[in-house]
Structure 1
């Protein structure tokens, strides 16, 4: 009768589960990258169907997710680019608004003078 090595068998089971988990996580990361979604521990864990603790405890997975998360943060979205443009153009917009206020104040002053003249003409008629 062949001897049964329980440790060897458990080690094989553990290695196969580990390989399955790694492939699940790899596929999940690929799907998230293709969909251009945010890559973080929560999104990868839910997409792969594994626990977050698994991702945190595995050093290679943890490093990979952290690297991808930083790369995703560095790439600006369209909304962020628009915000950056607005920040850069802020001074020009302020100057434009100042000129507009000055022009409107000048027009207002002219209208007040015209109103005074019109009141004077109405007063002379009485």
Structure 2
């Protein structure tokens, strides 16, 4: 018992706990990214089982979560992309539909003319 160094033992335990915490947080962030969920302190805490206080106290974890949160806030959501696409393409879509309507009206007119001729031929046979 004379060679037991309590300080070294506590440092080793602390290093193991820190490594375990980093691993849990890293895995949680990967799962959240794969699931396309938002990255913030609450979601990482719930997913990893690590307290929010620990996330805030570890500067490297805190910086990583904050940077991922900023990246996600800057990236447009699928709803925003769809809305922008609809607004940008609205005029083009309207013009395309107008051309299609015009073509269908012309086709309809030609078919009616052909039907008139066909009815005239049938009428002449009687």
CA distance in 1, matches of 2:30, 2:67: 14
How does the TM-score come out when normalised to structure 2?
0.65
CA distance in 2, matches of 1:40, 1:87: 31
Which aligned pairs between 1:10-25 and structure 2 lie closer than 5 A?
A: 10-25=10-25
Match of 1:35 in 2: 35
How far is the alpha carbon of 1:2 from its aligned partner?
Answer: 4.7
SS of residue paired to 2:21 = helix
Q: Return 5+ residue gaps in structure 2 as ranges.
A: 91-126
Match of 2:69 in 1: 69
Q: Return 5+ residue gaps in structure 1 as ranges.
A: 91-126
CA distance in 2, matches of 1:33, 1:54: 21
Moved over 2 A (4+): 82-90
Match of 2:48 in 1: 48
CA distance in 2, matches of 1:69, 1:83: 23
How does the TM-score come out when normalised to structure 1?
0.65
How far is the alpha carbon of 1:84 from its aligned partner?
Answer: 3.4
| Matched residues, number | 92
CA distance in 2, matches of 1:79, 1:2: 67
CA distance in 2, matches of 1:30, 1:2: 45
How far is the alpha carbon of 1:87 from its aligned partner?
Answer: 6.1
SS of residue paired to 2:38 = coil
